[in-house]
A and B are shown apart, each in its own frame.
Chain A
Amino acid sequence: NAGVMQNPRHLVRRRGQEARLRCSPMKGHSHVYWYRQLPEEGLKFMVYLQKENIIDESGMPKERFSAEFPKEGPSILRIQQVVRGDSAAYFCASSPPRPGAEAFFGQGTRLTVV
């Protein structure tokens, strides 16, 4: 089991472009979480998804950000028309469909907006 895989590890985008961050959960994990870490801050929850469903998106900015976890394939965090303030490390975690199960984290994608 390769663990939670995130790609790319580093992503550079110009202001106004779109950023797509991918997360492949561990085998057998149907729950995916996205967190953002801004410089000098802790990880902040963004969204919690199960296959084909958004369960909790209370941490997602209202505009430009969206997330999906399709039946097949990785979870995608999409940021449209990126701005400098979107520069951060984005972490994905996955867990099995079991209450209280441990969430395993990916190595993160560092997004830099220039």
Chain B
Amino acid sequence: AQRVTQPEKLLSVFKGAPVELKCNYSYSGSPELFWYVQYSRQRLQLLLRHISRESIKGFTADLNKGETSFHLKKPFAQEEDSAMYYCALCDTDKLIFGTGTRLQVFP
């Protein structure tokens, strides 16, 4: 079955520390993966997708098919990165979301 797993509900780091938000997936086929972010009182928005292989706001994510992972990384966290982060998998015409990880960046 198609599934996205985000094992951490909460990740707390200090400003300037590296961040890695974990995402593992289960998908029979070639997956298309995304990271979405929801800042406080704002709507869910696309952060990045694996096919574009770009860095957004300093975040990167590499698809590792061997480990079925798509972890989100940033070398130096900023306070404004504090938000809910959702990993998602595109299955035909819909997105399958993980349960989300709340990132808290302390000053």
What residues on B are CB-neighbors of A56 within 8 Å?
92-94
Report the bound CA distance from A41 to B98 in whole Å: 8
Cβ-closest chain A residue relative to B92: A56
A107 at the interface (CB under 8 A from B): yes
A65 at the interface (CB under 8 A from B): no
Q: Which of B49-107 contact A (CB under 8 A)?
A: 51, 86, 92-100
Instruction: Out of B44, B93, B94, B100, name the residue touching A105 (CB < 8 Å).
Output: B44
Indicate whether A105 sits within 8 Å of B43 (C-beta atoms), given known contacts A33-B94, A43-B86, A56-B94. Answer: yes
CB within 8 Å of B: which of A62-87? none
Q: Size class of B's contact patch? A: 20 to 34
Task: Give CA–CA (A59, B96) in the complex, Å.
Answer: 11
A48 to chain B, nearest CB (A): 5
Q: How many contacts between A and B, using CB within 8 angstroms?
A: 45
Residue of B nearest to A41 (CB): B99
Let me know if A45 and B95 touch, CB within 8 A.
Answer: yes
- For this complex, 14 residue pairs linking A to B, each with C-beta atoms less than 8 Å apart, are A3-B43, A33-B94, A35-B97, A42-B86, A43-B95, A44-B97, A45-B94, A45-B95, A48-B93, A56-B92, A102-B46, A103-B95, A105-B43, A107-B43
